[in-house]
Amino acid sequence: MSIETVGTETLAAERPLDTSWTLQWTPIVAGALAACAVSSILVTFGTTVGLGVSSAAPTWRDSSVALWLLSGIFLILQALISFGCGGYLAGRCRTPYGEATTDDAEKRDGLQGVASWALAIVLGVVLAALVAMGASRPTSLTQPATTTEPSVISYEIDHLFRSARRPPNLDVAPLRAEAGRVLMTSSSHTGVTPDDRGYLVQLVSATTGLAGADAERRVDTAIADSRTAISRVRASTIILAFSVATALLLGAVAAWASAEAGGRHRDGMPLPGWMLHANRFNGRRSPWRRSAPTLP
């Protein structure tokens, strides 16, 4: 027996082989962190180049449906890339298995990838919640909730109370918030009631000094514009929700497949099992099969 053979056998004896159906959390955590990091980079890049379904700026409503769809497709692609990287790392760093067959080992590696995918989602949700809480905290401390106007129709409210001459020492924040809540009902089945419309006309007349007819026209315009803005918000929300759900589901598939690829590279196997089954020719199996039993 040569020295090289002895050294190889010694290394194989020192390296533990896992034969139980257990999860190794160190590769899972590493894969989840890698997925979150890659996702943050891609999302930041997409936001920088303008691939956003919604935005805090009023000009987002000028974007087309094609841009919304492109943003949704980019969201799906970044999920495939990020979860794929995380799943590959979770499978590649996993301790080699014992006497498991190819199919058994790939299933175990796939479960490693799915676990990394799930942990990455949990980390992403927690980080998003912390960022949202931090962003909303200054507003909640400096401004009561009753005087907070709907940000969706802030431009329409600006146009509603626009005036060249305004009475001094007039706090319009409560009036804007109240008018915003009334305008939000424009997208309901019944729309703005006649009483609410008359009240808006009185607010506009008292705040801007417009005559009755001009105030009514401004209120009608604000109601119509608010209905359109709310409809576009709903459409973008539906596209965003569908894109997120699709991205997460496809991310699980990418994490599973990438973890299998990482396990094959870990064990020195160049082809996945589904490729082996798909590449049969004349009934012969591929020579890259591991220790799985052959079919009769």
pLDDT in tens, 241-291: 888 889 899 999 999 988 888 888 887 776 555 545 544 444 444 343 444
pTM value? Answer: 0.65
Q: What is the pLDDT of residue 129?
A: 82
Q: What is the pLDDT of residue 153?
A: 84
pLDDT tens readout for residues 8-60: 444 444 445 555 567 888 899 999 999 999 998 888 888 777 666 544 444 44
- Sort 251 into a burial class: Cβ within 10 Å, 0-12 / 13-18 / 19+: buried
Place of tokens 């094959």: 264
Q: How many CB atoms lie within 10 A of CB 202?
A: 12
Provide the percentage of residues in the chain whose pLDDT is more than 70. Answer: 69
Q: Which residue type is seen at 292?
A: A
Higher pLDDT, 253 or 100: 253
Q: What is the pLDDT of residue 114?
A: 92
Q: What is the pLDDT of residue 277?
A: 53
Q: Which run of H or E residues covers position 128?
A: helix 102-142
Query: Would you put residue 260 in left (φ > 0), alpha (ψ -120 to 50) or beta?
Result: alpha
Average pLDDT, rounded, for the chain = 75
**pLDDT of residue 293 exceeding 50:** no
Calculate the dihedral angle through the C-alpha atoms of 99, 103, 108, 109, rounding to the nearest 10 degrees.
110
